[in-house]
Structure 1
Amino acid sequence: MGCSSSSTKTRKSETSLKAALIIQNWYRGYKARLKARQHYALTIFQSIEYADEQGQMQLSTFFSFMLEHYAHVHKEELELRNQSLESEQDMRDRHDYVDLIDVPDSYNGPRLQFPLTCTDIDLLLEAFKEQQILHAHYVLEVLFETKKVLKQMPNFTHVQTSPSKELTICGDLHGKLDDLFMIFYKNGLPSESNPYVFNGDFVDRGKNSIEILIILCVSFLVYPNDLHLNRGNHEDFMMNLRYGFTKEILHKYKLHGKRILQILEELYAWLPIGTIVDNEILVIHGGISETTDLNLLHCIERNKIIDILWSDPRGKNGCFPNTGRGGGCYFGPDVTSKILNKYQLKMLIRSHECKPEGYEICHDGKVVTIFSASNYYEEGSNRGAYIKLCSGTAPRFFQYQVTKATCFQPLRQRVYTMESSAIKILKERVISRKSDLTRAFQLQDHRKSGKLSLSQWAFCMENILGLNLPWRSLSSNLVNIDKNGNVEYMSSFQNIHIEKPVQEAHSTLVETLYRYRSDLEIIFNAIDTDHSGLISMEEFRAMWKLFSAHYNVLIDDSQVNKLANLMDLNKDGSIDFNEFLKAFYVVHRYEDLMKPNVTNLG
């Protein structure tokens, strides 16, 4: 019996082991599929983000075009951007900006004492945790003081580390104050023994950009030799117009917002380009190109920099245009080796790109990307990270994720929430090009069957939208596919449409206005210098004419005139353009983000 019992136990043990291995393999496959879905969603977010940045670069060109051609329409309005396109050489002195702004006794927010000390840093952190707003008087004083110190600094800051004085490098924060609080909680506040480099993109997207900027500036003023600020591509007035910082300032500082924006633009221009650590690590926001000349960059005018703020590393050798963003370049491992060897450097640390784990190492360990804004695209979309450096040792990476509702959600639910949001914004991009896509589909549909092969459909989507996405993998979320694997291409637009502000408007015009709504909002808000939200009919027509000419948007003038007249409901000669823009939103029918049985990305 002993032998029989032992044999039975052995068989049971083998069965249990096999079952465990099956479950383990299933779970690994399940987790891999979830990771693939997460990757596809991140790819959608990033592709659309970069396409918008490309549009932003074009918009900057348009503003120059507009300045050249707008004078004959409304000369007195040519100063449409007191705070943007030209630095005000005759800017009034500090007295007009700070001393004439009184802080009333009723103000119960933080009161800063100059010269600043670490006590003021603590005061600000506690106040901002309670969502208090710093008075404009102190904001302007901090910005003026910061600009004064920055003007004395070189283009590149040189920093030395030691075992007793490690250096912490943080990447993009993008107005996400909770991430900065998390970094300080985990890593300690800036001090003489705890130095930091913040590698650009402090502002935009998040709702607390001014709070982050003020904390960093005050910390810089207290510890000018131990807290270092590098410029990112979002430390730029035109970027702020599109991505939210300008709107945040004007909302929080209705009376003095314009003054704050004016001094901010000057401050941006004086931010250092980068940091060199221990004479062997280059820290810049974007990247390099094959023509990067550090000797030249040490003496160039800082506001003329583009490549190193916008460039991205890629696995392919060489240096080629950054078509995704529309600025800077893609640089390969050979370019990295060439530039680092030329200047006796060992590593490039950069930011500028969201990474799922908060950081990424590439180019044989010579390029490190660090990104400090967690949940950048969507709650649960990515972790944030920072790096600690010490001479003679390898970089150490620290990750975190600011969690709220998602902390109790299973991985499947977090991935679903993320991919649902990604598919939603992708469908909005699709519907904004409905007319162009329909024509492309029909040109491929030689038999007029209403169907295309998957490869034909994917070709049309990529050719029209230019998003460089894995369209075949995404197809199950975007279109109906028959049993033969053919795509019913008009289903690309099912259950989604653009809400028309004026029903009589031509559908092509509606699509075009929706496609460029962000650009139009920036342009018209710039014209609306008193921020009344009202645009004259003459301004509407003149600006649309310039816009369509520059962007080569072929919309008949009569359609625009008809739309303008229809929108002017009370016939007072003005258009409430802010409300007009809000009317161009995309309607998603039958949308239920928490539906349990969902189609996924892979």
Structure 2
Amino acid sequence: MSLDEQTKTVTEEDKQKAEKFKADANEFFKKQDFGEAIRLYTQAIELNPTVAVYYGNRSFAHLKMECFGYALADAMKSIEIDKTYVKGYYRRAAAYMSLGKFKLALKAFEAVTKARPNDKDAKAKYLECSKIVNKMNFEKAIAVDDSKKSIADTINFESMVIEDEYKGPALEDGKVTLKFMTDLIQTYKEQGKLHRKYAYQILLDIKQLFMSQPSLVDIKIGDDEKFTICGDIHGQFYDLLNIFELNGLPSETNPYLFNGDFVDRGSFSVECIFTLFGFKLLYPNHFFMSRGNHESQTMNQMYGFEGEVRSKYSALMSDLFTEVFNWLPLAHCLNGRVLVMHGGLFSKDNVTLDALREIDRNRQPPEEGLMCELLWSDPMPSNKRAPSKRGVGVQFGPDVTLNFCKENNLDYIVRSHEVKNDGYEVAHDGMCITVFSAPNYCDQMGNKGAFITLNGKNMKPNFTTYEEVPHPDVKPMAYANSLFNLIA
């Protein structure tokens, strides 16, 4: 139906009702109830689909919910309706940026500067985005045959001096010990810092450890043994410590699996990642980590981790983190019965666990294929598959989950990747469980956090939920790319 045809079918009463829905949606948006705002904007659109602002506002709410694919579609629709609607171009640029498509974002900003040549804000965003694109082009140009060169090989941490005044945690004979970990946690609680020599040592050691692991790690849990699965942490260090308060520190008798997205958004990502890496080195066979979609260079450039590492350490260390993240395992299989991955299932049928084991993971996440979908996909309530609301990966229904589990003799799958009000969600007739461990995500979502405990005998998931705990006054996204004031 054309816009003209749509206009003819919209009555004055429809227009007034739509405006009321928009006004109500705006109030929910202010309260940061983005899901309800989206529902109300949708009702406004259904009554009057000819108003660009409705799509632009819903696009903004989708951005807040990290549904970048939906946000992009709404932004494009708002521009189609009104080519002078500047916020539509901003929303389109924000969606492209969130997906790491900086060149397309640059074109969107360029459109705004042409439409409003005197708009200083538009010009500033265009110049900032241009810097990112130029930097990427430069790095690509100088990295023609640099793929074999490892950052790790260039680091001479032996020459790094531990200053006399340093009183923080120290490795013992270059090794992580339980004392080191308890000292590290206490230092971080007091907003102290780990010496760069020890930080580099941990990164070099953890890289070697991850390199020795397959893309799909098999974990054996004894009948009477407890095992804990945690979801996204996203740099919320003090909430991570609360998990350990509630459930005990990791140990050989208290094993953990952290299921990706350890960093970004929260502004204590450095503290989170060194704590997790430290426990992995201390208990390599009882502490596990899966890669998330935020363990990638593009996400880290935009959502704060790169900026935080550069601020607390150096650009070199940021590059080394990229190398380390490339070696994180992509999934874990518990007792051959439960598959745990960050995102979800696949755009094609008949994917086997052996196919996951064979994934070449030492790279940045691709935009399609098994590796991409493990990191990015989401479940949906209806059967079959649908394009991803995020613009990457797919959405998969209960039938897809059932067929995958039958094919691979699994009881169920566990994934993370999505904020849930209770910190977890059981879907697809109990065969698809989401766990999310960052409460009041980004200090604004109001959700609980959760973790799963199970034992090896029955593998039944038990859920523990918890509220946020206080943290020092450093806001989320404090280290994010300056362009993100666009969608803050």
| Consecutive unaligned residues in structure 2, runs of 5 or more | 1-30, 40-59, 69-93, 108-129, 472-478
What SS does the corresponding residue of 2:332 show, helix, strand or coil? Answer: strand
Q: Find the counterpart in structure 1 of residue 345 from structure 2.
A: 288
Q: 1:40 aligns with which of 25, 36, 46?
A: 36
Q: Structure 2 vs 1, CA of residues 187 and 339 (structure 1 numbering), >3 Å: closer, same or farther?
A: same
What SS does the corresponding residue of 1:78 show, helix, strand or coil? Answer: helix
Q: 1:100 aligns with which of 146, 150, 159?
A: 159
Are 2:414 and 1:362 aligned? no
Q: Structure 2 vs 1, CA of residues 334 and 77 (structure 1 numbering), >3 Å: closer, same or farther?
A: closer
Q: Find the counterpart in structure 2 of residue 135 from structure 1.
A: 195
Are 2:335 and 1:278 aligned? yes
| Amino acid of the structure 1 residue aligned with 2:377 | S
Q: 1:57 aligns with which of 75, 99, 103?
A: 99
Answer yes or no: is the 8 Å Cα contact 1:188–1:194 preserved in 2.
yes
Q: Find the counterpart in structure 2 of residue 597 from structure 1.
A: none
| Amino acid of the structure 1 residue aligned with 2:243 | I
State the shift of 1:311 in Å: 0.2
How does the TM-score come out when normalised to structure 2? Answer: 0.69
Are 2:177 and 1:117 aligned? yes
Once the two structures are superposed, residues 518-569 of structure 1 have per-residue CA deviations (whole angstroms, 9 ceiling, x without a partner) of 9xx96xxxxxxxxxxxxxxxxxxxxxxxxxxxxxxxxxxxxxxxxxxxxxxx
State the shift of 1:328 in Å: 0.2
Q: Find the counterpart in structure 2 of residue 319 from structure 1.
A: 385
Q: Find the counterpart in structure 2 of residue 234 from structure 1.
A: 294
Q: Distance in 2 between matches of 1:221 and 1:81?
A: 36
Answer yes or no: is the 8 Å Cα contact 2:333–2:340 preserved in 1.
yes
Q: Distance in 2 between matches of 1:299 and 1:36?
A: 42
State the shift of 1:192 in Å: 0.6
| Amino acid of the structure 2 residue aligned with 1:148 | Q
| Consecutive unaligned residues in structure 1, runs of 5 or more | 1-34, 406-517, 523-577, 588-602
Runs of 4+ aligned residues of structure 1 deviating over 4 Å after TM superposition are 35-39, 41-47, 60-63, 73-77, 84-88, 92-95, 584-587
Are 2:320 and 1:266 aligned? no
| Amino acid of the structure 1 residue aligned with 2:229 | I
Q: 1:348 aligns with which of 413, 416, 419?
A: 413
Q: Find the counterpart in structure 2 of residue 247 from structure 1.
A: 307
Q: Distance in 1 between matches of 2:359 and 2:417?
A: 22
State the shift of 1:50 in Å: 2.3
Q: Structure 2 vs 1, CA of residues 148 and 388 (structure 1 numbering), >3 Å: closer, same or farther?
A: same
Q: Find the counterpart in structure 2 of residue 31 from structure 1.
A: none
Once the two structures are superposed, residues 262-286 of structure 1 have per-residue CA deviations (whole angstroms, 9 ceiling, x without a partner) of 2111111110011101111000000
Answer yes or no: is the 8 Å Cα contact 1:94–1:144 preserved in 2.
no
| Amino acid of the structure 2 residue aligned with 1:326 | G
Are 2:275 and 1:215 aligned? yes
Q: Distance in 1 between matches of 2:238 and 2:171?
A: 22
State the shift of 1:353 in Å: 0.1
Q: Structure 2 vs 1, CA of residues 364 and 53 (structure 1 numbering), >3 Å: closer, same or farther?
A: farther
Q: Distance in 1 between matches of 2:37 and 2:435?
A: 20
Once the two structures are superposed, residues 67-114 of structure 1 have per-residue CA deviations (whole angstroms, 9 ceiling, x without a partner) of xxx9xx9999823798x9996422355463422322211223222222
Q: Find the counterpart in structure 2 of residue 301 from structure 1.
A: 360
| Amino acid of the structure 1 residue aligned with 2:432 | V
Q: Find the counterpart in structure 1 of residue 462 from structure 2.
A: 396
Q: Distance in 2 between matches of 1:91 and 1:144?
A: 11
Are 2:439 and 1:374 aligned? yes
Answer yes or no: is the 8 Å Cα contact 1:171–1:200 preserved in 2.
yes
What SS does the corresponding residue of 1:103 show, helix, strand or coil? Answer: coil
State the shift of 1:320 in Å: 2.1
Query: Where do 1:459-538 residues align within 5 Å?
Result: none
Q: 2:186 aligns with which of 120, 126, 131?
A: 126
Q: Distance in 2 between matches of 1:209 and 1:181?
A: 13
Q: Distance in 1 between matches of 2:212 and 2:414?
A: 25
Q: Distance in 2 between matches of 1:321 and 1:76?
A: 28
Q: Distance in 1 between matches of 2:134 and 2:63?
A: 38
| Amino acid of the structure 1 residue aligned with 2:297 | F
Bigger radius of gyration, 1 or 2? 1
Q: Distance in 1 between matches of 2:33 and 2:327?
A: 42
Q: Structure 2 vs 1, CA of residues 315 and 211 (structure 1 numbering), >3 Å: closer, same or farther?
A: same
State the shift of 1:217 in Å: 0.6
| Amino acid of the structure 2 residue aligned with 1:284 | M
State the shift of 1:155 in Å: 1.0
Higher mean C-alpha deviation, range 207-216 or range 285-294 = 285-294
State the shift of 1:36 in Å: 12
Q: Structure 2 vs 1, CA of residues 373 and 247 (structure 1 numbering), >3 Å: closer, same or farther?
A: same
Q: 2:235 aligns with which of 175, 178, 182?
A: 175
Give the share of equivalent positions with the same residue, in percent.
Answer: 34
Answer yes or no: is the 8 Å Cα contact 2:242–2:469 preserved in 1.
no
Q: Distance in 1 between matches of 2:260 and 2:467?
A: 20
Q: Distance in 2 between matches of 1:61 and 1:297?
A: 32
State the shift of 1:359 in Å: 0.2
Q: Structure 2 vs 1, CA of residues 280 and 42 (structure 1 numbering), >3 Å: closer, same or farther?
A: farther
State the shift of 1:53 in Å: 6.2
Answer yes or no: is the 8 Å Cα contact 1:87–1:266 preserved in 2.
no
Q: Find the counterpart in structure 1 of residue 284 from structure 2.
A: 224
Q: Distance in 2 between matches of 1:363 and 1:152?
A: 34
Q: Find the counterpart in structure 1 of residue 205 from structure 2.
A: 145
What is the count of residue pairs matched by the alignment? 370
Answer yes or no: is the 8 Å Cα contact 2:263–2:295 preserved in 1.
yes
Q: 1:202 aligns with which of 259, 262, 275?
A: 262
Answer yes or no: is the 8 Å Cα contact 2:450–2:465 preserved in 1.
yes
Q: Structure 2 vs 1, CA of residues 55 and 121 (structure 1 numbering), >3 Å: closer, same or farther?
A: same
What SS does the corresponding residue of 1:282 show, helix, strand or coil? Answer: strand
Q: Structure 2 vs 1, CA of residues 371 and 101 (structure 1 numbering), >3 Å: closer, same or farther?
A: same
How does the TM-score come out when normalised to structure 1? Answer: 0.56
| Amino acid of the structure 2 residue aligned with 1:183 | I
Once the two structures are superposed, residues 358-401 of structure 1 have per-residue CA deviations (whole angstroms, 9 ceiling, x without a partner) of 00010001000000000104356100000001131521000001
Q: Distance in 1 between matches of 2:391 and 2:449?
A: 26
State the shift of 1:56 in Å: 3.1
RMSD between superposed Cα atoms in Å: 3.4
Answer yes or no: is the 8 Å Cα contact 1:97–1:140 preserved in 2.
no
